[in-house]
Every structure is written in structure tokens, then in C-alpha cells.
Chain A
């Protein structure tokens, strides 16, 4: 079983701040996903990573396979970024989810 830990659990930031959310997992994986869950509950896939770094707009995701660690960065944060960000790892065709990081960006 893969243990997925995220930090911090809750994060409040001022608009414009640079934000980092961290994810660690315990065993080898095929891929790691960063997901965004809005208050209504719907889930959006932001990134899938198996190595290196990906960038999409103001979002950057990195993964270090050796250290079993990934980070999600948000540059120039905006109130519309307020959501729960979830790290999920895929191993053996199962997904294991972190508990999520609740981000609130204040104008």
C-alpha cells in the first residue's frame, strides 16, 4: 500500500504570493497526478508526471523519483486558485490519494 502525504493541510496566501504544496509517497509509482477539487466537488486533473517538471500557465509541477517527492507551485496566486489540491499516485493500476491541501487566496 502506498502512503501519500501532503503538506501543508491548509494554506492561506495573499493574492500574488508564490505557493508551494508538497507531496511524498512511500513506494515506487508509475505516475503522479496533481488534481484540483473545487468547492462543488468536481475534480480537474492538472498534471500527470513520471519524471522531471511540467508547466502549465502559472502552475509548475516537479517530481523527484529518487526522493519520492513532488511539489506543485503556483506563481502569482489569484483568488480563483482557491481550491483543494490533491496529490494522487498510480501504482499497480490503483490510485492512492493524499488528504489534500486546502488553499485560500485572499485578494
Chain B
């Protein structure tokens, strides 16, 4: 099946710093999503981004499908950004109902 790798596994920032999280995938995908899992365990969809660039406030994401990677940018980080960030992909072909997650990036933002 498709492999999804995220980097870095852990990231510690001071409030106000910027960061870039990366997601690599091993095969062509039908879609790619970024999620944030907050400290209470809730999973929130951040972006649906099979290709191109999207922005939502301080967060933006870029997916280069031809090179099989996606980037999540967090600018001017806040303590509320802490948590785990996952990317997840639906593979193409007959397995397009399956969703495969990366292992996640644990982000800690200190005040």
C-alpha cells in the first residue's frame, strides 16, 4: 500500500516562530488532507489539498503532487497550535476509499 512519511517527528517552538511540516507519499494520490489533533484528542480538518496552495489565516499548505510531497506552514505560532499534525492520503485506483495517515508531527509551542 501507499506509504506516508512526515517530518520532523517532533518540533518545539517559541511563540511567534514560523515552522514548516513536511509530508511525503510514495505513490500518486486522489487527495491529501492535513489534520490537527488538539491536546484534548479532537481531530480537526485543516486543509483538503490534493494539489496547489491554500491559505487559512496563519496556516497555509502546498501540495506538489508530481513530486509526491506536501508542506504545511505555520506562521507566528501560538500556544494553541500545539498538538499533533497529521497528513493523510487517499490512494488512487481501486483503493481510493482507503485513507492512510502519516505518523504525525508533535508540535509544542512554548509561551
A binds B: no
Q: A residues touching B (Cβ–Cβ < 8 Å)?
A: none
